[in-house]
């Protein structure tokens, strides 16, 4: 009985860790360890932004789906996070419609 109480005590006092990987559209699982993530509550389009400053990669969760953007300068991320309308800034400056999105990542090669 003492062992059970000890195990339960350990279980309930252990810190809960968030998932350290997410599924990213067209990329598969991405490890969040190098990313600094922020939950967004003031946007109807964007719900989370994760940025890896060393690799200049950003993950954006839009409508429950994560998307990746590459070679993105930190000042663009800061501008997104501080924009009056995050969705409008995002659509205009980071991921405009069309094939020539300035921060699109190269398509991963299979094999």
Range of the domain at 40: 19-94
Does residue 47 lie within any of the structural domains?
Answer: yes
Q: Nearest to residue 58, comparing CAs of 86, 85, 98?
A: 86
Decide if pLDDT at 8 tops 80: no
- Give me the number of domains the chain comprises: 1
- Domain presence at residue 12: no
Give domain status of residue 100, yes or no.
no
Q: How many CB atoms lie within 10 A of CB 18?
A: 7
- Would you say residue 38 lies in a domain? yes
Residue 101 counted as domain residue: no
Predicted pLDDT at 70: 95
pTM, two decimal places: 0.78
pLDDT tens-place string over residues 9-53: 444 543 444 558 999 998 999 999 999 999 999 999 999 999 999
pLDDT at 111 over 70: no
Is residue 52 situated within a structural domain? yes
| Tokens matching residue 90 | 């995002």
Q: What is the pLDDT of residues 35-46, one digit of tens each?
A: 999 999 999 999
**In sequence order, which residues have a C-beta less than 8 Å from that of residue 94 and are 6 or more positions away?**
58, 60, 69, 72, 76, 80, 101, 102, 103
Residue 81 lies in a domain: yes
Do the domain assignments include residue 5? no
């Amino acid at each position: 009985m003492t062992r059970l109480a000890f195990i339960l005590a350990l279980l309930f006092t252990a810190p809960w860790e968030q998932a350290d990987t997410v599924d990213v559209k067209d990329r598969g699982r991405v490890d969040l360890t190098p990313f600094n993530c922020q939950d967004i509550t003031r946007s109807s389009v964007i719900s989370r932004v994760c940025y890896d400053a060393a690799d200049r990669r950003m993950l954006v969760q839009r409508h429950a789906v994560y998307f990746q953007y590459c070679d993105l300068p930190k000042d663009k991320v800061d501008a997104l996070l501080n924009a009056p309308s995050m969705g409008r800034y995002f659509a205009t400056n980071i991921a405009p419609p069309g094939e020539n999105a300035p921060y699109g990542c190269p398509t991963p090669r299979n094999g």
